[in-house]
Structure 1
Amino acid sequence: MAIWLIPNGHYNVDKQFAFRRNGDFYEVEPYALIWQNDFYYLIGRFVPENTIRHYRIDRMRSIEVTENKFRRASIDLKAYVDKTFNMFSGEDMLVKIEFDIGLLNAVYDRFGMEADIRHAEEDRILLTTKAKVSAGLIGWILTWGSKAKIVAPRELVDMVRDEARRLADLYTQ
């Protein structure tokens, strides 16, 4: 396979596309193309730092394919996606999250059919999984409102509670 050179960017508040890194190319070994959160992403190894990263396809411009060849490293793409998307980066922790039973398929979609999911109280399920504890995880949990509740670890329970209080404060002032 050939290495790709990708100029990547984002939109600013004026709705103008702005390149990251001054429009310099990202040298990437492409490993997979996935559909996640309503967008296509390229997953590959960022050559200068030897790290696995993902790039939104709709934010790439003028892709160039080089003559340089590479041998794809063996990585667990499912594990990368499960740990990375919506969760950003953070410390891996064993977390327990209780969900309304109506979210069962959403939980399977996010964590896979192999996820440790058990019956909890009436009309509730309990997910036990490793996740990166971060603002991204907290935001994802809060998207479910009262249909999701962190059970453990206590540190994450406190973080979600504190963020929910800050959110409530925005609407009580």
Structure 2
Amino acid sequence: MIWLMISTAGVVVLVLLASRLFISLKIVYEAAEQYISLRFSLLSVTFYKFHIPLEQIDQMQSFPRTNGLLKDLFTLKNAGREIFKRIRCDRLKWHTNIGLSEADLTAIAAGGLWSVKSTLIAVLMKHMQTRKKPEIYITPNFKTTDFSSSLEGKFSITIGQMIYMAFTALHIQRH
């Protein structure tokens, strides 16, 4: 009987370690609303979500400073690369509308946005596993002055990989 309980507990632990944590990110910047929304799901159950208006972030006091922040960031750089290698990008969609006062300025700005977005996506694809090709859209608006952007992404990582990366980050930080 005890062996049955131990084996059942072992199977449950293995299932949990192999299950994926899904992180849904949505960033919206429009004239009417600006916000960041995050949702965390495990085994198809959303267990944590929050919605922060960007104006609330602007009103926050500066974050507490630590003396060795840059040193810590450089120390964790390799761990960060390892973490990103293990995160899987399941979906990424980034849509931007841009319009300036004149058509030629709008065209130049749209070209510059294509350059910035494609560079960011290339870095993301280099350091992260991607299941689908990211969808990038830029819509120039030659008639009105306008700027809006929305980014939607769904990322996942297994619980076992998260635990492994936490131990790796702690090991790198100690040395």
Q: As a proportion of its length, which structure holds more strand?
A: 1
TM-score when normalising by structure 2? 0.23
The structure with more helix, counted as a fraction of residues: 2
The one of the two structures with greater contact order (alpha-carbon pairs below 8 A, sep at least 6) is: 2
When Rg is computed on C-alpha atoms for both structures, the one with the higher figure is 2
Q: TM-score, normalised by structure 1?
A: 0.23
